[in-house]
Amino acid sequence: AQSVTQLDSHVSVSEGTPVLLRCNYSSSYSPSLFWYVQHPNKGLQLLLKYTSAATLVKGINGFEAEFKKSETSFHLTKPSAHMSDAAEYFCVTGTSYGKLTFGQGTILTVHP
Amino acid sequence: DAGVIQSPRHEVTEMGQEVTLRCKPISGHNSLFWYRQTMMRGLELLIYFNNNVPIDDSGMPEDRFSAKMPNASFSTLKIQPSEPRDSAVYFCASSRADSGGAHEQYFGPGTRLTVT
């Protein structure tokens, strides 16, 4: 069965510093992987998705993620954090019929 | 496109009452998903439909919960009778999925349910 593990439940950074949110996946074949973001009291928004076309995936708001098969990782990064990036981030894997399996989430706090 | 539409956005009801949540998926999407989110349990998949047919309802908590999708543009999630532990945010999501793999889901704004 496919699954994802988010390695940090909370990450705190200062505004203007890099962001790294870690995610490892478990899959017996080429996975479908996504990152979603949820701002407080809002729905979930797709940041980016991996579809095997390229290992480095660029998403919205300056985020990107790199698929590393050797490490079974799909970490989310951003060069410079902004206050508006404060939210909860979910690493997600997909199965047939589009069913998604969500990680436990990482809460990102951005300090001025 | 207007995105996934959910109604109501907020619902406050008393224990024992029937609650109906509604969802209109994005036009052209053939899969629809109902989720529940709480602080304790996080995001849980309750049920999902493909081409209006329920595929997996193993996440539905108990018989008090039921979901229908009478056509491609409308779905309901009903709780009867409601209990305080049902208080949560309920999300609907839709995607253009097929058996060949997973596609991204688009989420609605959610319905915040409070049962007193």
Question: pLDDT for A78-109, tens place per residue?
Answer: 999 999 999 999 999 987 667 788 999 999 99
**Residues of A within an 8 Å Cβ radius of B:** 32, 34, 36, 42-46, 49, 90, 93-100, 102, 104-105
The per-residue pLDDT for range B33-52, each reduced to its tens digit, is: 999 999 888 899 999 999 99
Cα distance between residue A91 and residue A13, in whole Å: 19
pLDDT attached to residue A65:
97
Position A98: which residue type? Answer: G
Cα distance between residue B11 and residue B47, in whole Å: 21
pLDDT attached to residue A110:
97
The per-residue pLDDT for range A20-42, each reduced to its tens digit, is: 999 999 976 778 899 999 999 88
Which residue from B67, B36, B35 is spatially nearest to B53, judged by alpha carbons?
Answer: B67
Which residue from A88, A106, A86 is spatially nearest to A13, judged by alpha carbons?
Answer: A86
Chain B window 35-94: which residues touch A at a Cβ cutoff of 8 Å?
Answer: 42-43, 45, 48, 50, 55-56, 91, 93
Q: What is the DSSP letter of B25?
A: P
